[in-house]
Amino acid sequence: MYLIAGLGNPGSKYEYTRHNAGFMVIDDLAKKLNIKVNKLKFKSLIGEGFIGNEKVILMKPSTYMNDSGKAILDCFNYYNLSAENLIVICDDIDIPFGTIRIKKKGSAGTHNGLKSIIYLIQSQDFARIKVSVGQNDNNYDLKDFVLSQFSKKEFEVLKKEIDMSSEACIKIVEENVDYAMNNFNGKSVIWIF
C-alpha cells in the first residue's frame, strides 16, 4: 500500500497558489484513477483506490503546509506504514520552470512541509515529486511568492507539469522510483510556453 500525499493549504483562498501544486497533482491523479478524494480522515481529505493491484491512499492534508507531517503521521500510525510506502508531491522554487524532479530521498531544503514530515516520521527515506512553480526572480518575500497566483501563461505550463507529475506517481507505484526518475527527470514542458 502507498500513501500519496500532495502538499498545500486548505481553503479557496489558497486553491491556485504556487504552494498548492501538490494538491493540484492529487486532483489530477484522482481524476485519472477515478478516485474521489472527499473523505475526512487523518486531518486530511483522502480517497482510496488502486494503481494496478496496489492499494493507494491519496491525501490532501488540511493541517496547512507547515504542519503537513501531522496528517501523514496519523496515517502512518493507523496503517503501520514505513517511509518506503510514502510519495510526497510538493512545490519547488529551485528547479527550472516547466520541469519536475523526482527524488528517492533527501533533506527538506527550505520546504517547511517536507521539514514537518521528516521531523514527525523520523525519516528522509521517502520519494518526493517536486513540481516547479517558477523562480522568485523579483526577490519577493518567499512567503508572498509561494502564496501568489500563477499568470495565465504560467498556468498553462503548470498544467503540463501536473499531468507529468501524476503520470510519474503511477510509474513509481507500477515500476519503482528509479524508473520514474529516469523517465521524467530532465524533461521539460516549456516548449508550449
What is the pairing mode between strands 127-132 and 100-103?
A: antiparallel
3-state SS, residue 117: helix
- By the 8 A CB rule, do 32 and 88 touch? no
**Can you read off the three cell numbers belonging to residue 182?**
529516469
**Tally of residues, the chain:** 193
Nearest to 161 by CA among 128, 188, 127: 188
Nearest to 59 by CA among 93, 179, 73: 73
Local structure of residue 149 (DSSP, 8 states): B
In angstroms, what is the C-alpha Rg of the chain?
15
Helices (H), the chain: 21-33, 68-79, 112-121, 142-146, 152-174, 177-184
User: Does the annotation mark 19 as catalytic?
Assistant: yes
The active-site residue, picked from 19, 70, 111, 128, is 19
Active site (catalytic) residues: 19
